[in-house]
Structure 1
Amino acid sequence: MLHKLRLAVVGLGRVSKSHLPAIRELSDQIKLVALVSRDEGKLRQEAEKCEGIHTYTSYDDAVNDPDIDAFLLLLPHDLHAEYSIKALRAGKHVLVEKPMAMNVQEAEEMAEAANRGKVTLMIGQSRRFYQPVMESIRQVRKKAIGELININAMLLAHMDKPAADWWKDESKIGGFIIPLWGSHILDYIQWAYGRAPKSVYAQGHSNNPNWSGEDEVAISMNFGDGQMANVWMSFNAGCRPTDEVGLTGKRIWSTQNSIYERYLIGSNGLLHLKDEYELSLNGEKLETCESTFPNFKWQLEEFANAIREGREPLASGREIIQVMKVMDGCFESMRTGQVVQL
């Protein structure tokens, strides 16, 4: 019988509501052994659902627990590097929410800690883990559209108030729409091309006083050899609400009230991803899935399997360093108004 991965979850905020059910669904492979949070109320409330679980308000105490094999880190972005490195140096495996870190220097330190400790570091690029998305990459690899020459991605959504208070603070989030959503799109584009771009040019503006980071962005990437990609993202695509809640319809994270499209242009065809739920090749549907598809379960299963099999996971720390390089390049380009060579 295979040893179950003994997992601790750190952080019980908004995103934990997606991760915790996935852990329970994988109870044959993963044992949730600990919860870590500074919020004692949330800690007690969640612990009541789990028999025999350990609870910690101190992360250092949890890191020193020999009964924990791995950590799932669900924290503000400015804590990703510090908490990941501490666990990796203690010989623990880490799955940390995206974006990987605040900048590429932090990301490289995380990957180095994983390499030195011979442990697994995976980044929560959860939007890879849908059947239509995976199939789109398979179609690119088999050259179903010939040679990939351009990717155009567009996100139009409306958000008036942030879903978490720390999103308001650029020093904790590292921007706004780029780390929150752009980290997914930039990851997909580089995954599809199989390499990082040679240069990036970006324009970005903040239009909403409820946060300090960018909420309107245009990004252009040059991959060389006539290959390119363009990204347009907006959190301003809707009328301002008149109620105190500050939201028009559902929050963007449901994606039910947004437009999210990716067009992959090849030398002999077109792939179209509509959100993560529908893939078409030259106008014909190839793959669909329900909006309730358990992508967090699939992601966590990949993490556990990679550890068990002694291999790098999809979206490994070493791979996602390239995404951080492009994100850093975007912010440098926005500051300078220049094309940034990567």
Structure 2
Amino acid sequence: MTRKIRLGVVGLGRVASSHLPAIEELRDKVTLQAIVSRDPEKAARAAEGWDNAKLYTTFEEAVQDPDIDAFLLLLPHDLHAPYAIQAMQAGKHVLIEKPMALNYWEGQQMVEAAEQNGVTLMVGQSRRYFAPVMKSIEKIRNGEIGELFTIHAMLLAYIDKPAVDWWKDVKHIGGFIIPLWGSHILDYIVWAYGELPETVYAQGYSHNANWDGEDEVAISLKFAGNRMANVMMSFNAGRVPGDEEGLGGTRIWSTQDSVYVRYMTGTKGILHLKDEHELWDNGEQVICPSKHGSNFTWQLEEFIDSLLEQRVPLAAGHEVLGVMRVMDAIFASMLANRVIRLDEVGLERERTHD
């Protein structure tokens, strides 16, 4: 391994604008070795300032480049598994955007490919990397609120049109609000409890013809020992009559114009996360200095440091695989309109939607 990790970036869509500045900020640890994009002009603009960055129009060519140590894959959800597996079979480490894959079966293939080829697979659960979020997990792990027994999470936001065309098609995105935002909330819940739920009951519906997938969801997760978690999400909340842009417009990805809260209740107290920017412990705000200005910088540094230090990263593939199993159970519950045990799902090759 070289002193700096030589990184290849695949895809220059919407989310790339968050990842590329993180690479720049970590120039002492990583170099932008290559960019893969079907648009050569866009790739050239993204590579400005990196004198030795190579530009590829096909992933098949880039994956054979011996000067690339790892890939950052920023692709539609249905491409996560095939691209990640191809990269890992070529001996490359992979940081893949969330959700990990379309379903548990694909995620399992990815984890197996990482193990078989001796490489690192990390999932971009980027909303872990805020100081208040990290501190909340630390407090839970230290038992500062006693035994955690309930998590309530709510996201109320407004979005009228998908940010990119492939979000419209459930075959590419794997749903809608669940993969786009639920993957973050569910990841936090599983991370906080340190285990998977026993059962899932979920209801989800679409009220907007601009996409196929669900935009209103209610989820109840039951964990062992009468512990639970409840999740409510909406992409229809916030529009004011006569305000065509909506109260939150389509800027919900910052959550600054939305309601995004989590309450973690234990036998000795309660933690409250307001978005990812404020943590309250039994009514008192906790000051949480941030390691970086951007959560994407913190995330990329975790990936790069894990390679340089030869250790398992936070949100490694095998860890996040459990979240995919929960998501499969949620979709199964929505389809069957009943409680689903997690041991009923997890090995299916494809997820079926309404």
- TM (normalized to structure 2)? 0.93
The answer to whether 1:257 aligns with 2:260 is no
Aligned-CA RMSD value: 1.8
Q: Distance in 2 between matches of 1:130 and 1:177?
A: 21
2:14 aligned residue? 14
Matches within 5 A, 1:268-287: 268-287=268-287
Q: Distance in 1 between matches of 2:209 and 2:242?
A: 16
1:45, distance to aligned residue in structure 2 (A): 2.3
2:138 aligned residue? 138
1:326 aligned residue? 326
1:224-276 Cα shifts (integer Å, max 9, x gaps): 10110000000000226868878853510121110100000001100001100
Matches within 5 A, 1:37-186: 37-186=37-186
Cα 1:306–1:216 change in 2 (3 A) is same
Paired amino acid for 2:140 = V
Q: Distance in 2 between matches of 1:51 and 1:241?
A: 51
- TM (normalized to structure 1)? 0.96
Q: Distance in 2 between matches of 1:246 and 1:274?
A: 21
Q: Distance in 1 between matches of 2:102 and 2:251?
A: 24
1:175-217 Cα shifts (integer Å, max 9, x gaps): 0000000000000000000011111110000000110100000
1:50, distance to aligned residue in structure 2 (A): 2.7
Matches within 5 A, 1:223-302: 223-239=223-239, 248-249=248-249, 251-288=251-288, 293-302=293-302
1:93-138 Cα shifts (integer Å, max 9, x gaps): 0000000000000000000000001100000000000110000001
Cα 1:117–1:172 change in 2 (3 A) is same
**Contact 1:36 1:59 (8 Å CA) reproduced:** yes
Cα 1:248–1:230 change in 2 (3 A) is closer
The answer to whether 1:222 aligns with 2:208 is no
**Contact 1:250 1:257 (8 Å CA) reproduced:** no
Q: 5+ residue gaps in structure 2?
A: 343-354
Q: Distance in 1 between matches of 2:45 and 2:184?
A: 31
Q: Distance in 2 between matches of 1:247 and 1:169?
A: 26
2:202 aligned residue? 202
Paired amino acid for 1:281 = D
Which SS does the other structure have where 1:237 is aligned?
coil
Q: Distance in 2 between matches of 1:243 and 1:268?
A: 44
Cα 1:146–1:245 change in 2 (3 A) is closer
The answer to whether 1:191 aligns with 2:205 is no
Q: Distance in 1 between matches of 2:3 and 2:289?
A: 32
Which SS does the other structure have where 1:253 is aligned?
helix
1:2, distance to aligned residue in structure 2 (A): 6.5
1:289, distance to aligned residue in structure 2 (A): 5.9
Q: Distance in 2 between matches of 1:247 and 1:19?
A: 27
Which SS does the other structure have where 1:150 is aligned?
strand
Cα 1:241–1:338 change in 2 (3 A) is same
Q: Distance in 1 between matches of 2:15 and 2:260?
A: 20
Q: Distance in 2 between matches of 1:323 and 1:14?
A: 24
1:28 aligned residue? 28
**Contact 1:218 1:232 (8 Å CA) reproduced:** yes
Q: Distance in 2 between matches of 1:73 and 1:67?
A: 17
